Amino acid sequence: TGNHWGYGKEDGPSVWHNNYPVAQGNRQSPIDIIPQQASHDPSLGPIVLNYDQCTSTNISNNGHSVVVEFDDSDDRSVIQGGPLDNPYRLKQFHFHWGGKGCHGSEHTVAGNSYASELHLVHWNAVKYRTFGEAAAAPDGLAVLGIFLETGDDHRWLHTITDALYMVKFKGSVTDFKRFNPKCLLPSSLQYWTYLGSLTTPPLHESVTWIVLKEPIIVSDKQMGKFRLLLFSGEEEDQRKRMENNFRPPQPLQGRKVRSSN
Ligand SMILES: CCc1cc2c(cc1OS(N)(=O)=O)CC[C@@H]1[C@@H]2CC[C@]2(C)[C@@H](O)CC[C@@H]12
Ligand SMILES: [Zn+2]
ipTM of the complex: 0.93
Asked if the model's pLDDT at residue 2 lies above 80, the reply is no
Q: What is the pLDDT of residues 81-126, one digit of tens each?
A: 999 999 999 999 999 999 998 999 999 999 999 999 999 999 999 9
pLDDT band at residue 39 under the 50/70/90 scheme: very high
pLDDT band at residue 221 under the 50/70/90 scheme: very high
Distance 54 CA to ligand 2 centre (A): 20
pLDDT band at residue 3 under the 50/70/90 scheme: confident
Per-residue pLDDT at 8: 95
Measured between alpha carbons, how far is 56 from 68 in angstroms, rounded to an integer?
7
Answer whether 119 contacts ligand 1 (Cβ < 6 A): yes
Query: How many C-beta atoms surround the C-beta of residue 52 within 10 A?
Result: 9
Catalytic residue among 64, 96, 103, 158: 64
Per-residue pLDDT at 53: 82
Per-chain mean pLDDT for the chain: 97
253: left (phi over 0), alpha (psi -120 to 50) or beta: left
Per-residue pLDDT at 261: 80
- Angle (CA) 93 209 216, round 5°: 55
Looking at residues 194-201, what average pLDDT do you find? Answer: 98
- Relative to the alpha carbon of 28, which ligand is closest? 1
Q: What is the pLDDT of residues 228-256, one digit of tens each?
A: 999 999 999 999 999 999 999 999 999 99
Burial of 145 (0-12, 13-18, 19+ CB in 10 A): buried
64 is catalytic: yes
What is the value of pTM for the model shown? 0.97
Q: What is the pLDDT of residues 145-195, one digit of tens each?
A: 999 999 999 999 999 999 999 999 999 999 999 999 999 999 999 999 999
Answer whether 90 contacts ligand 1 (Cβ < 6 A): no
Distance 256 CA to ligand 2 centre (A): 21
Looking at residues 61-71, what average pLDDT do you find? Answer: 98
Nearest Cα residue to atom 23 of ligand 1: 132
Measured between alpha carbons, how far is 49 from 183 in angstroms, rounded to an integer?
12
Nearest Cα residue to atom 11 of ligand 1: 199
pLDDT band at residue 218 under the 50/70/90 scheme: very high
Measured between alpha carbons, how far is 261 from 259 in angstroms, rounded to an integer?
6
| Pocket-testing residue among 198, 211, 250, ligand 1, by greatest number of atoms within 8 A of Cβ | 198
Asked if the model's pLDDT at residue 1 lies above 60, the reply is no
Nearest Cα residue to atom 19 of ligand 1: 132
Q: What is the dihedral of CA 218, 219, 223, 228, to 10 degrees?
A: -140
Distance 59 CA to ligand 1 centre (A): 16
Q: Are strands 39-40 and 258-259 parallel, antiparallel or unpaired?
A: parallel
